Chains A and B, each alone.
Chain A
């Protein structure tokens, strides 16, 4: 039976929910699914994590217990993950195309000298054909990969997770904690100066995004979006104009040169909808436009639209939530 390895992304001892869709995707071909979890050597992975992996359907859990100082070093992690998949004779590897995944999955592909498709919307694992957007979101490409090993980075939220109870076995793997002398991690910044907020929700993984553009008029008005986002557990996005004008840090930018997102709902406030902006949010399931102008690309390409003053409508929405 075919074996598939999934690189699980965890944060603060919790599995990110976006992993479950990847597990569902891996099951399509009746494959044996192995989850690789990166943990500190002294941390017991908590029972909740194991239960969750069992509920969504993995056959094996490989715990990669690193020394604490290695947990921040993607080079050591990728090297060990490659050793682990090789040892277990796994030739198909999936992971999330999240910010973390973009730092780990391509490192593995490079070490394996194996083909990789990032940001997959879907993968046919029988034929190794992945679907992904190209050309600034204007086309969908089907990319076939061939090789001894193949890797796929899956776009968060692209696959709807389906529960599939299983009884996973635990497989040990002894990691090599040796650090390279040409790649040392000095520090990590959880936000602040580089412009993050305490919001804690990553744009690519959010189910709802409320985003502002030129129509926000100034920096202060963005607080209206943050208030609304907090009420519905959404992330706040922005157009390039809003970022360039200094109204909001670039970490919030959605679009071709910002984050590419596929939320279930994208609420665009005062965004006219340039091609470059659509490149980042075109695959949203539902687009709701709130704009003062009807004759805009965002309205023409929305599912619902409201013509009016967003400074009246959004606070009212916050109130109703």
Chain B
């Protein structure tokens, strides 16, 4: 199998972000009105998007079963994003593709570029992504990728099993490449749905899919030697999208809370809490 994992280079969630006005930087190129007007200062730690860790881990688990498989991590970003590809390689990806671009793109364009890069490279059997990125939180690129390729898509997957054949008694994991994937996905509140997807397909990993293991030191060393192919975003050819989304404002989410202590015996505290829930929050009657 050729397993592609689309990964994202995102700011560490623990870092303090600063907001940057891009207005001066976007006045070049073909779409000078369509770029994000605001972004964040990039002088902070960036890492592999947490949901993508689940995606890479699942790809590596599938490779254990289907040993002939190859895992290719595909990432967007500046040269610096190679670090994130190395992280994915330390977790099991065999090689990487970095699509070089100096600015962010909306999911409509991102999906087109990912498709172009993957098609140039090979024939995907499964494309993994995370269910969302922790920076843009868009939750849609996997569906766009699926629609462009005309592959079925599942998001928030909690279990993936690749099986051979196309529905019959011989459909057990085997030596031949699989023809289908049985995927269970989360519908919220612990409810799930199980689907039978014909390959090729797109699967977006959820938090419940697996437990990513921290790479060992030898894994990290090995990852340094694995190849990363650089592609320039502007060299990829795809249909110009008709729609777009771009950031026109970005402001810090500040908390304006003034904490008030509730004191007293547990009983007095409980009485006060009930009063607050009833009269101030109006959530109970």
Is B230 part of the contact surface with A, judged by Cβ < 8 Å?
no
SS of B interface (majority): mixed
Which residues in window 141-163 of A have CB below 8 A to B?
Answer: 141-150, 153
User: Which of B70-78, B120-128, B183-191, B216-224 makes up part of the contact surface?
Assistant: B183-191
Contact status of A113 and B261, CB under 8 A, knowing A188-B193, A250-B208, A317-B270: no
CB atoms of B191 and A196 under 8 A apart = yes
Is A287 part of the contact surface with B, judged by Cβ < 8 Å?
yes
CB atoms of B262 and A99 under 8 A apart = no
CB atoms of B242 and A282 under 8 A apart = no
Is B234 part of the contact surface with A, judged by Cβ < 8 Å?
no
User: Which of B81-89, B95-103, B138-146 makes up part of the contact surface?
Assistant: B138-146
Query: Which chain B residue shows the least CB distance to A321?
Result: B274
The CA-CA distance from A184 to B195 in the complex, in Å, is: 5
The CA-CA distance from A256 to B38 in the complex, in Å, is: 22
Query: Which chain A residue shows the least CB distance to B108?
Result: A115
Inter-chain contacts of A182 with B (CB < 8 A): 151-152, 197-198, 201
The CA-CA distance from A98 to B277 in the complex, in Å, is: 25
Inter-chain contacts of A133 with B (CB < 8 A): 137, 253
CB atoms of B245 and A135 under 8 A apart = no
Query: Which chain A residue shows the least CB distance to B137?
Result: A134
Is A257 part of the contact surface with B, judged by Cβ < 8 Å?
yes
CB atoms of A99 and B243 under 8 A apart = no
Could you say which of B51, B188, B243, B255 contacts A113, with CB atoms under 8 Å apart?
B243
User: Which of A42-50, A57-65, A295-303 makes up part of the contact surface?
Assistant: A295-303
Closest-CB distance, A293 to chain B (whole angstroms): 13
Inter-chain contacts of B169 with A (CB < 8 A): none
Inter-chain contacts of B155 with A (CB < 8 A): 102-103, 106
Contact status of A320 and B143, CB under 8 A, knowing A188-B194, A305-B262: no
CB atoms of B140 and A191 under 8 A apart = no
CB atoms of A118 and B250 under 8 A apart = no
CB atoms of B257 and A312 under 8 A apart = no
Query: Which chain B residue shows the least CB distance to A279?
Result: B13
Is B266 part of the contact surface with A, judged by Cβ < 8 Å?
yes
Inter-chain contacts of A29 with B (CB < 8 A): none
Is B134 part of the contact surface with A, judged by Cβ < 8 Å?
yes
Is A116 part of the contact surface with B, judged by Cβ < 8 Å?
yes
The CA-CA distance from A155 to B6 in the complex, in Å, is: 26
Inter-chain contacts of B51 with A (CB < 8 A): 257
Most A C-beta atoms less than 10 A away, residue of B40, B196, B259, B260: B259
Inter-chain contacts of A183 with B (CB < 8 A): 152, 195-198
Could you say which of B142, B152, B261, B267 contacts A306, with CB atoms under 8 Å apart?
B261
Is A87 part of the contact surface with B, judged by Cβ < 8 Å?
no
CB atoms of A319 and B194 under 8 A apart = no
The CA-CA distance from A103 to B182 in the complex, in Å, is: 17
Contact status of A145 and B243, CB under 8 A, knowing A102-B156, A139-B40, A183-B195: yes
Contact status of A264 and B283, CB under 8 A, knowing A139-B252, A144-B246, A287-B257: yes
The CA-CA distance from A190 to B191 in the complex, in Å, is: 5
Could you say which of A251, A300, A316 contacts B259, with CB atoms under 8 Å apart?
A300
Chain A proximity mask over B249-285: 1 for CB below 8 Å, otherwise 0: 1111101011111100011011101101100111110
Contact status of A197 and B259, CB under 8 A, knowing A115-B243, A135-B135, A253-B207: no
Is A308 part of the contact surface with B, judged by Cβ < 8 Å?
yes
The CA-CA distance from A146 to B34 in the complex, in Å, is: 9
CB atoms of A265 and B19 under 8 A apart = no
Inter-chain contacts of A288 with B (CB < 8 A): 273, 276
Closest-CB distance, B271 to chain A (whole angstroms): 6
CB atoms of A317 and B17 under 8 A apart = no
The CA-CA distance from A301 to B256 in the complex, in Å, is: 8
Contact status of A308 and B261, CB under 8 A, knowing A98-B188, A182-B197, A251-B189: no
Is B228 part of the contact surface with A, judged by Cβ < 8 Å?
no
CB atoms of B139 and A106 under 8 A apart = yes
Chain A proximity mask over B13-40: 1 for CB below 8 Å, otherwise 0: 1101101000000000000001000101
Could you say which of A189, A203, A308 contacts B194, with CB atoms under 8 Å apart?
A189
Inter-chain contacts of B13 with A (CB < 8 A): 135-136, 256, 275-276, 279
The CA-CA distance from A118 to B153 in the complex, in Å, is: 18
Closest-CB distance, A230 to chain B (whole angstroms): 12
Inter-chain contacts of B189 with A (CB < 8 A): 99, 191, 196, 199-203, 251
The CA-CA distance from A186 to B38 in the complex, in Å, is: 44
Beyond the given A141-B249, A232-B277, please list 18 additional residue pairs across the A-B interface where CB-CB is below 8 A. Answer: A103-B155, A103-B185, A113-B241, A116-B245, A118-B137, A139-B251, A139-B253, A143-B246, A146-B245, A189-B191, A191-B190, A196-B190, A233-B284, A256-B13, A257-B134, A305-B260, A307-B261, A320-B267
**Between-chain CB contacts (< 8 Å), 5 pairs:** A107-B153, A141-B38, A144-B246, A283-B253, A305-B260
Q: Which residues of A contact B (CB under 8 A)?
A: 72, 75, 98-100, 102-103, 106-107, 109-111, 113-119, 129, 132-150, 153, 180-191, 194-197, 199-204, 207-208, 232-233, 249-251, 253, 256-259, 264-265, 275-276, 279, 282-283, 285-289, 299-309, 312-313, 316-317, 319-321
Ranked nearest first, the 7 interchain pairs of A and B with the lowest CB-CB distance are A147-B243, A196-B190, A99-B188, A182-B198, A142-B249, A251-B190, A110-B147
